[in-house]
Structure 1
Amino acid sequence: MKVFFLCFCVCLALPLSYAAPAHHDGIMADEPEDHLHPKGEDHQLDRCKGIEFDAITPDEKGNTFFFKGDHLWKGFTGPAELSGGTFKELDEHSHLDHVDAAFRMHHGDDPNTHDHIFFFLDDKVFSYKNYTLENGYPVDIQQEFPGIPNHLDAAVECPKGECVTDSVLFFKGNEVYHFDIKTKLTKKKVWSHLPNCTSTFRWLEHYYCFHGHNFTRFHPISGEVTGVYPKDARNYFMRCGEGFGHGAGTRKLQCSDIKLNAITTDSKGRAYAFQGSVYMRLDTHREGNHPFLISRQWKEISGAVDAVFSYGDNMYIIQGGQVYIYKSEAHYTLIEGYPKPLKEELGIDGPVDAAFLCANQHIIHIIQGQKMYDIDLMASPRAIKKEMPIPFPKIDAGLCDADGVKVFIGPEYYDYGSPMLLALGKASPQPHKISPEKFGCEQ
C-alpha cells in the first residue's frame, strides 16, 4: 500500500480535523465539507451568493474545477478566474461564454481516452490531456459519443462496478443517457424524480446532481435518491462564512495524535483506515484525505471497530464479540444472517486487538494481547490452528501488504517481512514515525 492515512478524531467528544490538499476540515458525516475561507473571489461571481454551476469536473490530478459562464474556480476555495486562462482553446474556438457539461475519463480500457477531460459546448466536444487540447478536436458530439444529444446539461463518468460497465452519464432535462465506453451504445432513461441537473460530480464513489445552489445525491444506475435532499452546496463544497458549514472549533491533526483501530485493503483495491467512529479512504489521495463516519459506508456499524480484514470479495468487521461480513460491491452490503458471534464464525472469543490477512492466503492472523493466533479460513469448522507470542504487549492495528507486515502502535509502526518474522522476533525493530507525506497530518 503506497498511500496511507489520515486524520481522525483525537477524542469523540471533539470535532474531527485533518489535512487535505486544498480541501476541507471537519467530519464527513454524509457529504464533503469545506472550511477554508475563499480569498479574493470575483465580486461579480461569488459562489456564496447561490451560483448555479454550468459544469463540475476533476482533472487527472484530482483538482476539481467549477464552471460558471466564462469563469471557473480551481478547487473548493479561492477566487474565480477566466476559463480561457486554463483551457484557452475553448475560447479560441467558441468565443466561450459557458460550458454545457464536462467530465474526466479516468476509467476505461482505452489508454487513448484515459485521464482526459471532455468539455461540451453546444454541438461540439473538446478533449484535453494535461490542459492541452488534443489534435483533431473539437469534433461533433455525435462523432465521439453516438446517440448523445447536443446542448447537454451535465455529464459524469461512471466506472464499472458502480455502473454495469465503464460508462458516462449524460443529462438533458429529465432524460439520462447511459453511454457504454467500450461498445459506444447508448440507453436512454427518464428520471423525472430527479431535479434537472445543471452539473454533476462523482466524488469518492458517490454521485451528485447540482441544481440551483443545491445538490442531490443519486444512485448512478437507478437514479434513486436516499436521504434528505436537496442540500445547500454552500454547506459542503465551499466555505461561505457565518451561517454556512459545520466545522467550528476544528484544528489540524498532529501526527503524534494518530492511533488506528484497524486498516485493510479490499479485493477491489480500496484501502481503508479506521479510528474511533470514522474511517478514511487511503487509495483516493487525488480527491484529498477525508474522514467519514463508519456508519456512512457500513450502515449497521455503530461506534469504533476492533479489527477489519478482507478475504475474497468479502470484508470482515470485528466489533467486540461480533463479526459483520460485507460483500465488497460498489457499496458494501451486509450478508444475510450477520452479525454472528465471533466464536461461531472464527472459533475465537472476542474482543481482539488486530487482524490481518496476506494476499492470496487463507490464514487469518488475529492478535490478542501478546499472542498471535492463526486460523484457517478454508477449514470447517474454523478453529485456532497455531498460537505464537509477539514482541509487543499490545498493538492497535496490523496490515499485511506487498512489503510485509506492518504493526501499528500509536503514531508509530514496525515493519516485518512476514507474519512468521513478527512471531519469531525477540525484539522489536526500529519504529517508523507516521509522516505527513504518508498520513496527511502535521508534525
Structure 2
Amino acid sequence: MKLLAHILCLCLALALAQAHPGPEHGSAVLDRCQGLEMDAVAVNDEGILYFFKGDHVFKGFHDKAELSNESFAEPDDHHHLGHVDAAFFMQHEDSPDFYHMFFFLDHKVFSYHQPILAEGFPKNISEVFPGIPDHLDAAVECPKPECDEDSVIFFKGDDIYHYNVRTKAVDKKEFKSMPNCTSAFRFMEHYFCFHGHMFSKFDPKTGEVHGKYPKEARDYFSRCSAFSEDSDHVERERCSRVHLDAITSDNAGNMYAFRGHHFIRKDEGNDTLKSDTIENAFKELHSEVDAVFSYDNHLYMFKDDHVFVYKVGEPHTHLEGYPKTVEEEFGIKGPVEAAFICKDHIAHIIKGQHMYDVNMKATPRVARFKRRISVFRKVDAAMCDSAGVKVVVGDHFYHFDSPMRFIAAETLPEQQKVSMELFGCDH
C-alpha cells in the first residue's frame, strides 16, 4: 500500500511538472531553415541582425539558435509575459535613448544599452511610447530623411503608427499594398517586412512595395540551401544580404564569390552571372569555404584547418595530395578569415585582426610579417584585381590601391554595396 501511494505521488508530481514547467527552457533545437516565422527582428549596434523566435535568438545570418536569456536575462524573469512581440534599435542621435535596443512583450517594454537593462525598466508601453498599443506585431526605427521626422514605425494588424521620437506625436496610417508584418527591420538603409518566412521590401513613408515581392526570406537572410525548383539561384546570390564567405579573381579575370552552399561566377568582359553549388563544382569541399585566392591558374580554397587546391577549368580539377593542413601548406594554423594575392607571388592571409605574407615560390612556405589591421575588427572576404584590393565586410566592400595601403589605413574609404557594385543588383 505504501509503495502504491509512493508511485501515485511520483505520478502526480510528474503531471504537475509537465502542466507547470519551471524556468528551464525546452531543449528542442530550432532550425531557421525549416521555415520559422520569426517573432521579431532587430539590428544591434554592430549591424548584426537578431532574429527572435520563442525563447531563442539567432544572431546573424547563419549562427545556430541560442537562448535569448544568455544575452538579455530580464525579459525571461517575467514568466507571465509571452515571447518578444517586436524589437528595434534606436539610432536617432537626438534621442536620449540613442543606441538603445527595445523589446516589446505584451504590454511591457524593455530598454537595453550594450546589454545592460536601463534603469527603471521594464515599463508599460504607454508610459514610454504614449499612443502606441500593447501586444504589437512589429516595430522599426526610421530616421530622417527616410521618414519625414525621426520616427519609429509600429505595426499591429492593419494599423500602422508613425511615432515622432522628438514630439511623441503619433500619426496613424494604413499601408494598403503591404501584408501584415510579423516582424520588421531596417537594414542597409532598406526596410523589410517579414510575413511568415516570406518578406517584402517597403517604402517606410507610404508602405508601397516595388519590385517582385514577396520573396523567400531564407534565400536572402539565411545561409540555407534552395527550397524549391522555383528558386532563382542567380537572383538570390546577387541580391542576398548575407555576407560573402570568400571572393577571388582567376588569371583570366573571372570573379568567383562564395556564400554558404553556393557560389556565383562573373566572367571577365561581360556581365554574365552564373550560380552553382559548391557541392557540384568542388565536390570535395561540399559547402561553406572560409577563404579563396587564385595563383598560377589554381584556386587555393580554405575550409577550417585545411586547404584544397583546384586547377581552373571546365570542370575544375582537384589536385592529388590535397587537402593539406593550412599549417603544412602555409606555415600558419587555420582557420583563416580571408586570403588574396595580387600580381606578384605574395599571398596575403588574414587571420583575426592580423595579415600575414606568404611567398608562394618559397619552399617551405612560411607566414611572415605579421601586421595588425586597424580599420576593421573582422574581415569577411578579400580579393585583388587590376584596380587594387577589395575588402568585404558584411554587405559592403572597401577599395584600397594596394595591400600596403590597406594595412596602413587609419580611416575607411568610401563604402560600396556588394550586391549593387559587384553583381549589379538593382534592389
User: TM-score under structure 1 normalisation?
Assistant: 0.49
Out of 160, 183, 206, the position equivalent to 2:167 is 183
Q: 1:47 aligns with which of 10, 16, 32?
A: 32
Query: Helix, strand or coil for the counterpart of 2:205?
Result: coil
Please state how far the C-alpha of 1:106 moved relative to its aligned partner: 1.0
Question: Aligned partners of 1:248, 1:117: CA distance in 2, in Å?
Answer: 30
Q: 2:406 aligns with which of 434, 440, 443?
A: 434
- Aligned counterparts of 2:52 and 2:80: Cα–Cα separation in 1: 15
Decide whether the 8 Å contact of 1:255 with 1:434 is kept in 2.
no
> How much does 1:45 deviate?
1.6
1:117 is aligned to 2:76: no
- Between the aligned partners of 2:81 and 2:174, the Cα distance in structure 1 is 30
**Residues 1:137 and 2:109 aligned together:** no
- The answer as to 2:367 corresponding to 1:410 is no
Displacement of 1:146 in angstroms is 0.9
Unaligned ranges ≥5, structure 2: 1-26, 239-243, 256-263, 272-384, 391-400, 419-427
Cα drift, residue 432 of structure 1: 3.8
User: Where does residue 211 of structure 1 map in the other structure?
Assistant: 195
Paired AA for residue 225 in structure 2: G
Write the mapping of 1:324-403 to structure 2, written as runs, cut at 5 A.
none
Q: Does 1:56 align with 2:50?
A: no
Give the match for residue 89 of structure 1.
74
Checking the alignment, whether the CA contact within 8 Å between 1:108 and 1:166 is kept in structure 2 is: no
Aligned residue in 1 for 2:156: 172
- Equivalent positions of 1:206-285 (< 5 A) are 206-243=190-227, 246=233, 252-253=246-247
Measure how far apart 1:96 and its partner are: 5.4
SS at match of 1:52: coil
What is the CA deviation profile of residues 43-71 of structure 1, one whole-angstrom value per residue up to 9, with x for unaligned ones? 64211111111000011121210001111
Distance in 2 separating the partners of 1:206 and 1:62? 13
Hey, what's the Cα distance between the residues in 2 that align with 1:107 and 1:188? 21
Q: Which residue of 2 aligns with 1:281?
A: none
The alpha carbon displacement at 1:409 in A equals 7.4
Give the whole-Å Cα distance in 1 for the aligned partners of 2:142 and 2:237. 34
User: For the Cα contact (< 8 Å) 1:70–1:97, is it kept in 2?
Assistant: no
Q: CA deviation at 1:196?
A: 1.0
Q: Deviations over 1:60-92 (max 9, x none)?
A: 121210001111111111111111111000111
Equivalent residues of 1:177, 1:188 under 8 A apart: yes
Residue by residue, what CA displacement relative to the aligned partner does 1:223-268 show, whole Å, maximum 9, x if unpaired? 00111111010100001225477378987235999x9xxxxxxxxx
Question: Within 5 Å, which residues of 2 pair with 1:23-38?
Answer: none
Q: Which amino acid aligns with 1:253?
A: I
AA paired with 2:247? L
For residue 73 of structure 2, what is the amino acid of its counterpart?
K
**Preserved CA contact (<8 Å) 1:108 1:181:** no
Alignment match, 2:144: 160
The alignment covers a number of residue pairs equal to: 243
Please say if 1:202 is aligned against 2:174. Answer: no
Q: Which runs of 5+ in 1 are unaligned?
A: 1-41, 260-275, 277-290, 294-301, 304-407, 414-428
Question: Judging changes above 3 Å, is the alpha-carbon distance between structure 1 residues 135 and 253 closer, same or farther for their aligned structure 2 residues?
Answer: same
CA contact (8 A) 1:54 1:101 kept: yes
Q: Which structure has the higher relative contact order (CA within 8 Å, separation 6+)?
A: 1
Question: Which structure: larger Rg?
Answer: 2
Superposition CA RMSD, Å: 3.8
For the residues of structure 2 that align with 1:98 and 1:254, how far apart are their CA atoms? 43
Residue 431 (structure 1) shift: 8.8
Secondary structure in 1 matching 2:134: coil
Give the structure-2-normalised TM-score. 0.51
Percent identical residues: 48
Alignment-mate amino acid for residue 246 of structure 2: K
CA-CA distance at 1:195 after TM superposition: 1.1
Give the residue type in structure 2 aligned to 1:86.
Answer: S
In structure 1, distance between residues paired with 2:197 and 2:171: 29
In 2, Cα distance between equivalents of 1:173 and 1:431 = 52
Q: Secondary structure at the match of 1:236?
A: helix
The one-letter code sitting in structure 2 at the alignment partner of 1:234 is R
